[in-house]
């Protein structure tokens, strides 16, 4: 079993990497689907609110799923088996913050 520090580092890097990958994938999918740059701070005043709300909801959902997938994968790699309930997701996330 991995030491506590190495497990925290692995969890942090895995979740951060999953978030970056999810954001890049979402940006590319948005640009391909809409033909426009994804909403961001520079474009906030240029987009309509419907587009901004759709982007926020979709990117939040994808980021959450990416984080969950990263936690699940790292949990398995660390030899602890699959995460079986929502409480374990919270516990794994708290380990990153501690």
At residue 92 the predicted structure's pLDDT band, cuts being 50, 70 and 90, is: low
Structural domain tally of the chain? 1
Please tell me whether the overall predicted TM-score, pTM, comes out greater than 0.85 for this model. Answer: no
C-alpha to C-alpha distances, 27 to 1, 10, 21, 34, 67, nearest whole angstrom: 37, 26, 10, 10, 17
> pLDDT for 8-63, tens place per residue?
777 778 778 888 888 888 889 888 988 888 887 666 676 678 888 888 898 888 88
78 in Cβ contact with 5 (< 8 Å)? no
* pLDDT of the residue at 1: 44
Backbone angles phi, psi at 86, to 5 degrees: -60, -30
What range does the domain containing 72 cover? 4-97
Q: Indicate whether 7 pLDDT > 60.
A: yes
Rounded CA separation 98/86 (Å): 19
Residue 83: pLDDT band (50, 70, 90) is: low
Q: Could you read off the pLDDT of 32-42 as tens digits, one per residue? A: 988 888 887 66
């Amino acid at each position: 079993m991995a030491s506590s520090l190495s497990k925290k580092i692995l969890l942090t890097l895995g979740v951060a990497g999953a978030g970056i990958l999810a954001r890049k994938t979402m940006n590319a999918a948005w640009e391909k689907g809409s033909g426009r740059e994804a909403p961001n701070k520079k474009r906030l005043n240029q987009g309509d609110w419907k587009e901004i709300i759709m982007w926020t909801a979709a990117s939040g959902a994808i980021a959450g799923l990416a984080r969950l997938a990263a936690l699940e994968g790292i949990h398995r790699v660390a030899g602890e088996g699959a995460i079986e309930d929502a409480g374990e997701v919270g516990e794994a996330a708290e380990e990153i913050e501690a």
